[in-house]
Amino acid sequence: MKKTAWLAVLASSGMLLASMGPAAMATSGAKSSTFTTINEYHGITVGAPMNPFNSNGNTFYGFDQMQLGWFTNSATNVNAFIPGLASKWQILNGGTVVNVQLQPGAKWSNGKPVTANDVVTSMAVAFTQGNAQAFFLGSVRAISPTEVQFRQVPGQHYNQFFNNLMQQTIVPSFEYGRLMPSNIWTIINESQYSGNNAAKQALAQKMQTQLTDIGKKITTFAPANDISAGPFVLKSLNPGEAFLVKNPYFYAADKVQVQNVVFRNYTGNQQIWNYMIAGQLDQAPFTAMPTNILDQILHTAGNKKVVTPSFVGAALAFNQGIYPYNMLAVRQALAHIINRNAVQKIAEPVVGTVSQYSDGMVDAATPQWLSSAQIKGLNPYAYNLQLATQQLLKAGFKKVNGNWMMPNGKPWTASIYTVNGFSDWIEAAKVISSEMTSFGIPTQPNIVSSYSQYLQELAQDKFALSFWINALGPQAYGTYQRIFGPNDGYQIVGGKLVHYPYSDKTKGNWLDIPQVIRLAHGKVVNPGQLTYSLNNMTTAQQRPVVAELAAAANADLPMITLWNYINVQFVNTTRFTDFPLNNVGLLNNPAGVWMAQGYVHPVS
Amino acid sequence: MIEVEHLQKVYTTKGNLLTRSQVHAVRDVSFRIPDGGAISFIGESGCGKTTVGRILAGLETPSAGVVRLDGADIHQTPTRERRDLRRKIQLIHQDPYQALNPAHSIEQALSAPLQIMAKQKSGSPRAWIRERMDEVLTMVGLEPASVLYKHPHMLSGGQRQRIVIARALTVEPTVLVADEAVSMIDVSLRLGVLHLLRDLREKLRISLLFITHDVAAARYLGQGGQISVIYKGLIMEQGLTEVVIAHPRHPYTQALLSAVPVLKGLETMGADRFILAKEMNAQSDAQAGCLFADRCPFAQARCFTEAPALIGEDHQYACHFPEVRQVAAVAAE
Amino acid sequence: MSAELMHGKSAEPAVRVRGLNVVYATSQGDLPAVRDVDLDIEAEKITGIIGESGSGKSTLVMALLNSVGKPGKIVSGSVMVPGVGDMLSIDRERQRRARGKELGLVFQAAQNSLNPLRRIGHQVLDLGRSHEVRDLRDLLRKASDLLTRLGMDADRVLTSYQHELSGGMRQRVGIMFALILDAKIVILDEATTALDMLSQASVLEIVRELHKERGLTTILVTHDMGVVADMADRVVVMYGGEIVEEGPSGSVLSHPAHPYTQGLIRAIPRISGAIDRAVPLPGAPADLKTYLEPGCPFYQRCAAAMPKCQANRPTSLTVSADRKVACFKVTDHD
Amino acid sequence: MKTVMARLAKRLVAGVIMILVVASFTFLLVRLMPGNPVEAKYQSLLLNGLTPVQAMDEVRVMYGFIPHQSLWIQYLHYLGQILHLNLGQSISYEGTPVMRIILGAAPWTIILVLTGTVASFIVGILAGVIAAIRRNSPVGSAITISGSVLHGIPLFVMALFLAYVFTTIWAVLPFGAPYNAALTPGFNGPFISSLARHALLPVFTYALASYGGWLLTMKSSVISVLGDDFILASEVRGLKTSTRVGYIAHNAILPLFTILALSLGFMFGGSLFIEDIFDYPGLGNLLVNAINNRDYPLMSGAFLLITVAVIASNIITDFLYSVVDPRIRR
Amino acid sequence: MSMRLPKTVLHNRSANPNFRQSFWGFAWRTIVKKPGRLIGFAIIVLFALMGIFGPYLYPAQLPINPNAIYAPISWQYPLGTDFEGTSNLALVVTGARYVLFAAAMGAVFTVVFGTILGLCAGYFIGLTDSVIMRITDFILTIPSFPLLVVLSTVWNFGQPVAMGFVLGITGWGGLARAVRSQTMSLRERGFIEAARGLGLSPLYILFREILPNVGSYIAMNLLLAVTGSIYAEVGLFFLGVVPFQVNNWGVMLNLAVFSAGAMSSPQALPYLLSPMLAILILTLGIVLFLDALDEMFNPRLREV
């Protein structure tokens, strides 16, 4: 009889499957106040804690994860912020002291108020994560229950001090305070010691370890419920979706018109495309895509493309430690061989524009930093095979039977490395390979299975030609440290610049750019040091330095910028209207920030 | 001349430590076969007769006892010589359908052992092999040209068994062990194979160990030789073939002879014929007395307590109460 | 149950086979396996059918039950069984019921004739249910009695699986299955071939006793002339799909008429008499080539073959009161 | 029964040893894999638009979860932890216990594979019997061909095809999530219906892919049983057709149960493509992500779980077999 | 069984001294008996030719055409084009070599490892058997596809031989076990005992006596291993978990799905369908042909 029971269960489950046809068709978007989007920063992970300090934690930046303010991505004004938990702020003493007033009426989702003490605790947490040290936070003081004062480490003039502290995650003291010992500030202060007293140095070492251990504990901390000071709070989640509801205690709850937010999980771009083609996403973040997909997406009712500036470029980087790429002529010749127009058209037709200058910045930033005369001085490296041939012949290369021989007599072959899943890179690598091969340099695209393997092998100098993200802006330091930073051996250790040679395989110098570069007008510069110096300069002070760096990057050509990304995102207007389409600074922030500012209304 | 003394074989059955047990396949067997002589082992299945044959052929190693071929102990000689020595004793399998590799032609089957032999001969090995193949095939009554290229499945059972014998002859053996060599062959062809074996024995002076449960076949083949009746690995009765069949003294021998069907119209039933109804019980090994006592219709109290020894000179038997019974059928005319 | 049969005239045969032809369908066309067989099986007698492998004896027996398996098929003929009718033309359900109930078969491979996954007792019950036996408990009792009669521990056997029984025991269980529904016609197809001497003798002894006790009609199919000679009242000799000789066993053995029968008897090694009386039979058994040739199937091996034998097939002729032979040499003389 | 238990105990010990061997092997192998998980995370956060400050903030602590001791010490530690059923902490999930991550993913794979296997088993077996009995008829040939073709098509090709048909061309079925997150999990209608709707496509794909195998195996099993002597014997004894079919089915299906149990053991490795293509959040997906992120503890853990499942199913199969097959029971 | 025909007659037609030739003749007759088998055979031959000669039909670097991205099916592009305007047909044809060669190598390695280890385990019972079988259990226990994924990142798969080797070492377990059990049963057969008794060397017995008798089983497995290897390697490339540098079907699938959006956009669909079609046709060919192999070697299915 057991057998029949078994079968009955099966049969009934079969009927269940059959019976749930159309009735269950209604998707979560049917209720018009549910806003569906994608979390571009990390996937949804069941089992990961609802903890913003965990890199896979289930909290959503701008929705239930709050900070003092939201950066507007201005290239030249690092202090342009939209208020977050901070309603007002004063930058004093040349940027070394900052006073912040909290939003009146800011509350956690359990009804408790957000206080200055929460901010102080959050900064302690930031120390345990190593984050506060990165912007030289010296001290934090609650001036009143709603006002906090921040000071930079004495003697430091880090120009992004305010920028960084505004972007620190604020968490409730009643949750995270418990995780740290009561003498946490003593530990922090002792660990910060940088003098020459050996005993104090040893103590600092010990305290740093202690701090790291506390940090680990904090990242694994799993609160029972999501506690949010943002417009939403996480209610439930499964491996495919996270479901957030409006936080009634949010300080600007009356401005928030959206009742629920659903985050879709994704593991690859093609999934986001599918969601958009199905018209299921009310807002979708930046995603690389081919033209056919763009057409398909725009074909769907309500989908709208929104373009904002972006400060990212994709480049082909040379490992100058590998022959023959140590020769400037070779790098420049390749720049003439590669038809960047064709590359962009095939690889990144939708969210990319052909790069003009190869000066280390995105083209949108170049006019903001350089004068037109300086721009004219840049070599455009136009597609010109003849020029490339001349340069190579001059450098001692020879063409035999249609293929190039290197000056050392060996045939010149090449491999261009990219990463699986990075479709634009792969496609670009294929196109460039074709171009180089038909020019007489047999070239193959090589696709590494995972990004982590790619980066490791890159650092181990296994690749001569590889793809790299450069021009990461908007700030000048962030931009140039992609070229003349850690990948060139320049690292900041204990607040000081150190240069590791190419021969040290463990320290990440895989570009091996000469330490000094002679510019067109004869000046010799050290780009690593110049880049580092940008950190402590005002915008005005930075201008001449950026100009020198641009000239250096253009002349020495450590990497060829192939295209600049444009930040294309999508919104769907069938269920919601009133997106902040004309507010570029806001658009660069998550949709939760828009909603908190009163944008995004359900279609009535 | 092959001599076997006090042969024993004990198997340990597979199983875990608790259930592992020992099976005595051969308890104590001794015999000798002169060149050109023959001995027939008869007994029912599971009596250990096949094990004796396999030990002789080198397929099993004895737990105790000695097998000597022309004075050399085949289990104690150094490895290299042992292979040559063992080749002198060839086993003819019960099943000719399994004894030949279906993937090989007859030529392949015969030439493989000949190639080894050829190394020891002088002259052109290829011609020698060819010649020798013809020779052995003719010897077993087959026409070389018509069988050499064939594969086993194209031959009848009788022909296959002849090929098997021919293959054994390629290595010039001095002893043949024929284990139920005709039981799988069609009735009309059986006698032909038996006849061939008898011929070889006489012509090539090969010693023959014939293992069977068919007393009549043993009688035909073992003419002038001996018969050994074996039960549970122990010899029950042993003697000249004619004598044992005509005057069996052990009840087990008598039971075997009684079981031979009587050819009505040609024979009359033996006066004392009896049919043994009880089956052999392999588990009742541990008893103290005669191994056959539990099935013996003539058993007395003493048989259950005391094991009989093998007594007698030319005609040996292991029975406390040996009594000649007229169980074999008698020819009608 | 089979009252008619019990009280039927003894002159009426228990099975009457007429004009039976069985062929095997092959890619080379239909090949005959049983040819033009007419046979009367006498009631309450033991009939021995003897032949070598490929002689068609097993096919004949399966044809009696109309159970010839693929690729064989019965082309023509009738098998009349009193109380049942023509096994070859009655409907399938009645055929099925006749099998097991009227005609019991002990299989050549009786060792493997039991479902390995069911206890013997369960299989007895399956059999009972298939033949609408009302009192299943009684059936089990009968099985138990029969098994005891066959010299086995009935309770143990009924609760055993096939693999727990020895070869001899399985054979006896097979006999039990053939008899349990009181079949009056029992066919033993090479039932003792795989057994050794002692087991064979004891099984045959039991068969002989049951045959007598129950008044059975027993058909013994074997290749062993000795067994037939020992057991059978009548003997039927088959060669190449045909019956070549038929008659009372004593008379056939002592005075075989067909050259094949003669050769076969001469080729038996015996334990009595002069050893050299045994003479090998030359040649190879019949195969399909033989079947296809027009002449006498034994022509190739026959020492007494005449030119006539190559082209013409001798038909079975009655040579004396109860003997039939299919040989030109015999029939032409008479 | 005593011997069965003794055998079981023996198998268990052997199984534990095998688990340790596999664990050691995968531990070492997995650590041979090249890659830098933290740098990758950082760089991808940058690509996704986080500022370097935010991205660095996110990943800085991950460094703490990368083991720094020598391989040998790590190995000993790893073995020690396994004995305490602790699979360590994930790198890419920043210290979340591997066990918790795996247990979070396992239910989805189990739903997917169990339902798919059972469904395909039942349908495949029935079709196999028909294909064997009617093997000379057009129906039988058609069934056999359907089985061979479905068996022959690679899983990912079938999954891609079905995904294209049912989510793009004729978008009736959802994908990408195991159920609608707005619903409360539990034994309520909407939830179960959502669960089933989301699982339907992957389960169907899995079932379709396994159906052919069952069919062909069952067909050959039935054909071989049909040739057995006892089936002929049951005919000449006049057993009813239904009884005979029962005999055939019982004997033919027995060997398949072993395969069934074994295939359930392999389930965790087997659904990799389906989970990837339909983005179903099971163990296969987890493993692929772990590999791509070079999350060594997670990889070792997933491997170990798969191995344990295989070994356990082996033991259970062995045990069950000795229960259902009297020939093995002693 | 009594029903069986005398064995001798079935093979009379092969009473030909040159048996080997007649086997090929028989094989050919088996193939042409049903049109399906002939089609299967033709497909396999076609793909083999594609693998051997395909790359010579096109220039080493397939031409790209930025003006014909995802071109529709036409005479110029019978299967459409890909993201850079390269003919999909050219990609399928030139991509066949790596896929098929690696699959063939994978099958050969699988069969060689499986056969040799199975033969040795089955023949040299005892310690050899135990050791080999423990290794086999180990291989069978580790889920092969994930293992393949891990191995493939440690290894470099530039050469199809390397790919084949890895496919082989992860895939021989089942075959070894089957060959072992067949060897063990053959070992008990009379002709092996006879060969031992005749003093033939173990090597001769293993490879000349036993191997031919498991040959048919191995032949079937070789063909099955080819398909298995194709699926495994194409699957690996499709998932993108292994480094790759050459054009092959799996890479096409990967790029079509994950880069070109073929699953979402009909324009790119031919790019996805081309390699799928190639795999399916080859699969079909092998399935159809297996039927013939089955009949050639499996007497049980051979209808008399």
Radius of gyration of chain A (CA): 27
pLDDT at B286 (0 to 100): 57
Q: Which residue has the tokens 């190995």?
A: D75
Q: Is the peptide bond before A474 cis (omega within 30 degrees of 0)?
A: yes
Q: What are phi and psi of A34, to 5 degrees?
A: -95, 120
Chains C and A, touching by 3 or more CB pairs within 8 angstroms:
no
- Residues of chain D contacting residue E235, judged by C-beta atoms under 8 Å apart: 154-156, 273
pLDDT in tens, A109-130: 999 999 999 999 999 999 998 8
Q: D10 and B19: CB-CB below 8 Å? A: no
User: What is the rounded distance in angstroms from the CA atom of residue E299 to the CA atom of residue E30?
Assistant: 13
Domain-embedded: residue D193: yes
Q: Is the peptide bond before D202 cis (omega within 30 degrees of 0)?
A: no
Q: Which residue of B has its CA nearest to E191?
A: B99
- Residues of chain E contacting residue B90, judged by C-beta atoms under 8 Å apart: 197-198
Model pTM above 0.90: no
Residues with Cβ within 8 Å of residue D83, at least 6 apart in sequence = none
Q: What is the least distance, in Å, from the CA of C287 to any CA of chain D? A: 23
CA dist list (Å): A94 to A111, A135, A158 = 38, 15, 10
Q: A455 and D40: CB-CB below 8 Å? A: yes
User: What is the rounded distance in angstroms from the CA atom of residue B260 to the CA atom of residue A128?
Assistant: 99
pLDDT at D11 (0 to 100): 82
pLDDT at E300 (0 to 100): 42
Q: What is the least distance, in Å, from the CA of C273 to any CA of chain E? A: 34
Q: Which residues of chain E have pLDDT under 70?
A: 1-23, 156-158, 245-246, 294-295, 297-304
Number of domains present in the structure of chain D: 1
Nearest to A325 by CA among A416, A402, A250, A264: A416
Residues with Cβ within 8 Å of residue B41, at least 6 apart in sequence = B49, B52, B53, B209, B210, B211, B212, B228, B230
| Among candidates E14, E17, E198 on the partner chain, residue whose Cβ is nearest the Cβ of B87 | E198
- Residues of chain B contacting residue E190, judged by C-beta atoms under 8 Å apart: 93-95, 98-100
pLDDT at C218 (0 to 100): 94
pLDDT in tens, A264-305: 888 777 788 888 888 889 999 888 788 888 888 998 889 999
Q: Which residue has the tokens 């302690």?
A: A124
Q: A269 and E258: CB-CB below 8 Å? A: yes
pLDDT at D50 (0 to 100): 66
What is the DSSP secondary-structure string of B27-59? EEEEEEE-TT-EEEEE--TTSSHHHHHHHHTTS
C residues 288-317 lying closer than 8 A (beta carbon) to B: none
CA dist list (Å): C128 to A178, C96, C181, C182, D237 = 79, 13, 8, 12, 10
pLDDT at E294 (0 to 100): 67
pLDDT at E225 (0 to 100): 86
Q: Which residue of D has its CA nearest to B17?
A: D6
Q: What are phi and psi of C16, to 5 degrees?
A: -125, 115
| Among candidates E2, E5, E8 on the partner chain, residue whose Cβ is nearest the Cβ of C24 | E5
pLDDT at B20 (0 to 100): 61
Nearest to E191 by CA among B210, B94, B187: B94
- The residue among B118 and A162 whose pLDDT is bigger is A162
pLDDT in tens, C118-175: 999 999 999 999 998 888 999 999 999 999 888 888 899 999 988 888 877 888 898 8
User: What is the rounded distance in angstroms from the CA atom of residue B248 to the CA atom of residue B317?
Assistant: 9
D247 touches chain C (CB under 8 A): yes
Q: Which residue of E has its CA nearest to C27?
A: E304
Q: Which of A380-394, A563-577, B105-119, D54-68 shows the lowest mean pLDDT across its residues?
A: D54-68
3-state class percentages of chain C: helix first, strand second, coil last, to nearest 5: 40, 25, 35
**Which 8-state DSSP code applies to residue C321?**
T
- The residue among A498 and A310 whose pLDDT is bigger is A498
pLDDT at D181 (0 to 100): 66
**Which 8-state DSSP code applies to residue D169?**
I
Domain-embedded: residue D56: no
- Residues of chain C contacting residue E9, judged by C-beta atoms under 8 Å apart: 287-289
Question: Which CATH number do you get for residue D260?
Answer: 1.10.3720.10
* ipTM of model: 0.76
- The average confidence (pLDDT) of chain B is 86
Residue A14: is its pLDDT beyond 50? no
- The residue among E143 and A571 whose pLDDT is bigger is A571
Q: What is the least distance, in Å, from the CA of A415 to any CA of chain E? A: 9
- Residues of chain E contacting residue A293, judged by C-beta atoms under 8 Å apart: 261, 264-265
Tokens of A372: 């037109």
pLDDT in tens, A431-449: 999 899 989 999 988 888 8
C225 touches chain B (CB under 8 A): yes
- The average confidence (pLDDT) of chain C is 85
pLDDT at A192 (0 to 100): 86
Chains A and B, touching by 3 or more CB pairs within 8 angstroms:
no
CATH topology of domain E45-56+86-301: MetI-like fold (1.10.3720)
Q: E199 and B87: CB-CB below 8 Å? A: yes
A270 touches chain E (CB under 8 A): yes
What is the DSSP secondary-structure string of C157-176? HHT--GGGS-HHHHHHHHHH
pLDDT at E299 (0 to 100): 43
Tokens of D181: 């997150």
Domain-embedded: residue D58: no
- Domain residue limits at D212: 107-282
Tokens of B288: 């103290």
Residues with Cβ within 8 Å of residue A498, at least 6 apart in sequence = A490, A491, A492
CB atoms within 10 A of CB A599: 22
- Residues of chain B contacting residue E212, judged by C-beta atoms under 8 Å apart: 101, 103-104
Q: D311 and E141: CB-CB below 8 Å? A: yes
Domains in chain C (CATH in brackets) are 13-102+183-331 (3.40.50.300)
pLDDT at A426 (0 to 100): 87
D115 touches chain C (CB under 8 A): no
What percent of chain B is modeled with pLDDT above 90?
A: 22
Q: C116 and D251: CB-CB below 8 Å? A: yes
Tally of helices (H runs) and strands (E runs) in chain A: 21, 29
Nearest to A207 by CA among A182, A184, A190: A190
Chains with at least 3 CB pairs less than 8 angstroms from chain E: A, B, C, D
Q: Which of A404-418, C33-47, C133-147, E17-31 shows the lowest mean pLDDT across its residues?
A: E17-31
One digit per residue, the tens of pLDDT, for chain D of length 330 reads 566 677 788 888 888 888 888 888 878 877 777 777 777 777 777 766 666 666 776 676 666 666 677 778 888 888 888 777 777 777 777 777 888 888 888 888 888 888 888 899 999 999 998 888 888 788 888 888 888 888 878 888 888 888 888 777 776 677 666 777 667 666 677 777 777 888 888 888 888 888 988 998 899 889 888 888 888 888 888 888 889 888 998 888 888 877 887 777 777 666 788 888 887 888 888 888 888 777 878 888 888 888 888 888 888 887 777 777 777 654
Domain-embedded: residue D205: yes
pLDDT at C1 (0 to 100): 41
pLDDT at C166 (0 to 100): 80
Residue A471 contacts residue A365 (beta carbons within 8 Å): yes
Residue D101 contacts residue A61 (beta carbons within 8 Å): no
pLDDT in tens, C226-278: 888 889 999 999 998 889 999 998 889 888 989 999 998 888 888 888 887 88
Tokens of E255: 């790029």
Domain-embedded: residue D84: no
Q: Which residue of C has its CA nearest to B224?
A: C275
Domain-embedded: residue D99: no
B14 touches chain D (CB under 8 A): no
- Dihedral over alpha carbons A377, A383, A386, A388 (to 10 degrees): 70
Edge-to-edge strand ranges of the sheet holding A260-264: A232-238, A241-246, A260-264, A34-38, A283-284, A567-572, A303-308
- Residues of chain E contacting residue D302, judged by C-beta atoms under 8 Å apart: 146
pLDDT at B15 (0 to 100): 55
- The average confidence (pLDDT) of chain A is 87
